Amino acid sequence: MQLLLVDIGNTSIKLAFADEHGIESVYSLPTKVQHSVDSLGLSLRQLLSLEKKDPADISECALCSVVPDVASMFKRACIRYLQRHPLNFPEDFALVLKNGYRHPHEVGADRLLAACAARMLYTEPPSIISVDFGTATTFDCVSGDTYLGGLICPGLFSSRNALAACTAKLPLISLDVSEPALVIGRDTETSMAHGFLFGFAAMTEGLCRRLKMQLPLPAFVLGTGRDAQSLSKICSAFDAVRPDLLLEGLHLFCTRRIHV
């Protein structure tokens, strides 16, 4: 079994090649460019060549998207260039959790997939909090076999970009975690970097602590997304970090044949 797994977010398109045992390799494309069906299809062909795979090797495609127009193009690219009709989350899968959102259709596919993946990977904790650091920072709560909902907060990099765009003198800075402890910034770059990084770490710790007060304990906190691994160096909230949780979730749904 050879799988193509796709997570289409607002900032990036993550693609993974996988087999029945797990994810083999992950690639990333920018979302906010002028994609076309052919540009996406040719990108797929290039990645397949890089992996030394043939389009006929792909037995199944599955995607999760929060960008409908890109998802539509990607589906057509899969059909045209791979001769595969991709499965779409959540429509084509049987959910492993009850959706407890007040208006279930309003839940983002990425949030729901993260919650399902977290529960499939960690079956024992009474509660799970999945924290996804993407364009937005989302906190999604699972109690037993029910997705409860959560919180939507600003994203680390989108906040940095907004601040640089809306101020005359503040620069666009790097947000690499290079120091394990907070320092008082004595220059603008350090002041901003530590303000953002340790501010988001403190926000994560504080919100997880408050969410746990409303959940059956113990509650397991799982970090995911592009910045989770980096922030885990300075944030004490996480019990585990899985940067590619959404792709892992698609892999579990496909390999366990949890289809509608």
pTM given for the model: 0.94
Look at the block and give the residue holding tokens 């076999």: 145
pLDDT value at 33 more than 90: no
The answer to whether position 42 is within a domain reads: yes
pLDDT band at 32 (very low <50, low <70, confident <90, very high): confident
Helix, strand counts (H, E) of the chain:
7, 11
The answer to whether position 17 is within a domain reads: yes
Same domain for 12 and 50? yes
Same domain for 162 and 186? yes
pLDDT value at 172 more than 90: no
Count of domains for the chain = 2
Q: Please give the pLDDT value at position 216.
A: 97
The dihedrals phi and psi of 100, each to the nearest 5 degrees, come to: -95, 10
CA distance 55 to 209: 47
3-class SS shares of the chain: helix, strand, coil, % to 5: 40, 25, 35
pLDDT value at 124 more than 90: yes
Same domain for 184 and 102? yes
Beta strand segments in the chain, E: 3-8, 12-19, 22-30, 60-65, 87-89, 98-99, 127-133, 136-143, 146-154, 219-225, 240-241
Same domain for 193 and 130? yes
Catalytic residue among 7, 57, 69, 110: 110
To the query of whether residue 110 is one of the catalytic residues in this protein, the response is: yes
The answer to whether position 56 is within a domain reads: yes
Q: Which of 82-86, 170-174, 183-187, 250-254 has the lowest mean pLDDT?
A: 170-174
| Tens-digit pLDDT profile for residues 210-219 | 999 999 999 9
pLDDT band at 236 (very low <50, low <70, confident <90, very high): very high
Helix pair angle (68-82, 37-50), 10° resolution: 60
Same domain for 128 and 78? no
Which structural domain range is residue 39 located in?
3-89
The answer, yes or no, to whether the previous bond of 126 is cis (omega within 30 of 0) is: no
Find the CATH number of the domain harbouring 124. Answer: 3.30.420.40
